[in-house]
Amino acid sequence: MKNDTIIIGTRSSKLALWQADFVAEAIKGEHPELAVKEQRMTTKGDKILDAPLAKIGGKGLFTKELEEAMLSREIDIAVHSLKDMPTEVPEGLAITAITKRADPGDAFVSNRYAHLSELPKGARVGTSSLRRRAQLLSLRPDLDIHDLRGNVGTRLDKLDAGEYDAIVLAVAGLTRLGFGERIREIIPREHMLPAVGQGALAIESRADDEAVNEVIAFLNDPDMQTAATAERAFLARVEGGCQVPVGVYAECDQGELTIEAVIASLDGRRLYRSKTHGQETEAEHLGRELAERLLDEGGLAILQELGLLV
């Protein structure tokens, strides 16, 4: 931070800009003495739009360039969707704050059908997520799932052009961009668990930048930080940096933490799901313990088949 100015690094998509603006306005409100600037950047994930995320690297595709800019001190902080963050951040950086979570659910969006259950046999459904694909097929093995890349607006345009009967997107992204009315159904969590951290924002900064970290500390939501610790501990055990067919959701309530997770095969035919609970102080342990349970039940074989674990 130079001359009482904080520089926020952000991707250039409308959703990323919304997220950066949200954090910028919060900082201005809490610290009116500071100036806040935004620096737009393009990541590898923004450039490669013609291949599934899982085939080009999954997590990290939307963060690497921003992290390099932080380490070189071009920017002070970066704002990410927490679900896009790898479980390990580069040396010298840290996730300094995690915001209160918006709705973590997945939205069923269709111009013809009001509910997922109303889709006819063989309906064409678009999603770029292995997690959504696996859980959709577990519920509806008759669906025809196709890859869908691009920003939120692009995906909606493809739906409107008739390329899909329905698409599945994050509720939080749709509502933040003013597309909440396009949501026909929020898929119940008993049918589809969200991605790690879905609905929350992560603010990343240099670990040793005490001045900046003190400024943004107010953005951290303790309950969400605890939930994220459990969810990310689960993910760290079952993958690393790749996109995998797993869903996980943790929630805090008066010192107690409940975490539920699923590992599913890509065709949805094998699905291992379980939950556990304990004290909030055990968040990391609970996440890893649940991961071990699901791996032992059959999740390990699924991930080995995908070449993700040995």
What's the chain's length in residues? 310
Nearest Cα neighbor of 143 from 161, 169, 116, 107 is 116
On whether the CB atoms of residues 270 and 116 are closer than 8 A, the answer is no
**DSSP 8-state assignment for residue 205:** E
On whether the CB atoms of residues 41 and 32 are closer than 8 A, the answer is no
Q: Give the orientation angle of helix 152-160 with respect to helix 14-30, to 10 degrees.
A: 140
CA distance 232 to 236: 6
Catalytic residue among 21, 46, 50, 84: 84
Task: Give the count of beta carbons closer than 10 Å to the beta carbon of residue 112.
Answer: 13
Nearest Cα neighbor of 13 from 202, 151, 207, 110 is 151
Residue 223 annotated as catalytic = no
CA distance 124 to 139: 15
Nearest Cα neighbor of 129 from 234, 59, 199, 233 is 59
Q: Which residues pair with 93 in a beta bridge?
A: 206
SS3 208: coil
SS3 100: coil
In terms of C-beta density within 10 A (0-12 exposed, 13-18 middle, 19 or more buried), how is residue 310 classed? Answer: exposed
Task: Give the count of beta carbons closer than 10 Å to the beta carbon of residue 53.
Answer: 20
Catalytic residues: 84
